Structure 1
Amino acid sequence: MSDLSHYEKLGVDEDSSFEEIQEARDRLLETCKGDRRQAEAIETAYDAILMERLRMRQEGRIKVPDRIRFPERIVEPAPDYAPTPAKASPEWLQRLVDTPSRNDVLLPGGLMLAAALFSLSSPPVALALGVSFCFYFLNRKEHKFGRAFLLTLIALVVGVLMGLGIGSVLATMLGGMGLSPDAFAAMLTMVLLWVVSSFLR
């Protein structure tokens, strides 16, 4: 039995694809369900074709599609929908907020703490030191003198006003701790100056 007769047995030709050969075999097996001899002849023809195809493939006479040779390279098609992008913070806020390193937080924090402790004896001098530290660290980040001056001034005014307001409400409690409202306002301002100098730019 020649190779060609195996193709003829299944009703396909040498150019048929693997899927076509497999479909022809399945179709013929369905038609001869009770005939064991005919089913064996169909399976023998199918196996002979597969062996010939394998030999031809090994010899390089059959080009195997890349989707079969390299299934990992198949790229999934892009989804029909485009996911909505995450809402980013406004550009002006991104330009203002900084993500500091640990040293950029600890060094100003240590200096502000020293100034806050100094405010127990002399709040105005402590405020002057705190303002100097804040201005220095802000200006060092981007060398924008005007922005550093403005942010430092805003932090100073807000810190002093908040500190004096809260200090007047808590005057009796602060007096019991031996802390004047001015010293409390200076300490609160130091905290605000530290936050501004560390997390803004």
Structure 2
Amino acid sequence: MSEQSPYEKLGVSEGATFEEIQATRTRLLEEYADEPQKVAQVEAAYDAVLMQRLKLRQEGKIAVPDGIRFAEQASPSVQQKTASVVKESGQWFQSLLGQTDRWSWALPAIVYLALGTWVGLMPQPQGVQLAMMVATGSALYFLYRKEKRIGRSALWGFGGLIGGFVLGTVAYTLLKAVIPGLPSDTIVISWTTFLVLWGIASFLK
């Protein structure tokens, strides 16, 4: 016995109208609402019928009502929506970070690299405190130079200082038992804070 065609599975004739096909699908879905397997079979048959109708339409053999939505017509729509979301996300990210040129991140990198070297060579408390002050002041300067808003610059600058300190503390706690010869907590926390402040000063808009 030959396998049933999608029309036979759906219970309609090949000459059925689109309205009849849709009405049959709706009736069967209601009838089999409590039987997921049969619902899946109905949907598969319905999609197969629409695919055949689409092929006939592309060949110019039938006309299709405007309200009919084919499965492959949905794909470009999904792709377009996805592209739109990605584009909007990119625009948001770009507006957050701003347009950056080479010096907008290279100059802060030089400053924080120098401070990191300083702390690495002279990890005494007084030297570290002075380096932290210079690092925070540098972040305020770089942010204010871009934004011309002292309040927002101060908020991000001191927020980066606190965030870097917390992140550095957590990093040192997690890594000290894993990495032999890890530098002291003072150095790790300082380097982490410099990295956070560099990121904020360089890319945040």
TM-score, L = length of structure 2: 0.51
Deviations 1:81-133 (A, max 9, x none): x9768231398765432221001111110001001111222322221111111
Instruction: Name the CA shift for 1:172/1:97 in 2 (closer, same or farther; >3 Å).
Output: same
Q: Aligned with 1:89: secondary structure?
A: helix
Tell me which of 110, 116, 129 is aligned to 2:134: 129
How far 1:170 sits from its partner (Å)?
2.5
Query: Within 1, Cα distance between the matches of 2:160 and 2:100?
Result: 18
Instruction: Name the CA shift for 1:172/1:117 in 2 (closer, same or farther; >3 Å).
Output: farther
Max Rg structure = 1
CA RMSD of aligned residues (A): 2.7
The one-letter amino acid of 1:191's match is L
Instruction: Name the CA shift for 1:133/1:174 in 2 (closer, same or farther; >3 Å).
Output: farther
User: In the alignment, what sits opposite 2:9?
Assistant: none
Tell me which of 187, 192, 200 is aligned to 1:196: 200
Q: Aligned with 1:176: secondary structure?
A: coil
User: In the alignment, what sits opposite 1:183?
Assistant: 187
Tell me if the contact between 1:163 and 1:184 (Cα under 8 Å) persists in the aligned partners: yes
Structure 1: which 5+ residue stretches go unaligned? 1-81
Structure 2: which 5+ residue stretches go unaligned? 1-76
Query: Within 2, Cα distance between the matches of 1:132 and 1:182?
Result: 19
How far 1:175 sits from its partner (Å)?
6.9
Instruction: Name the CA shift for 1:169/1:94 in 2 (closer, same or farther; >3 Å).
Output: closer
Identity among equivalent positions (%) equals: 26
Instruction: Name the CA shift for 1:174/1:186 in 2 (closer, same or farther; >3 Å).
Output: farther
Query: Within 2, Cα distance between the matches of 1:159 and 1:173?
Result: 21
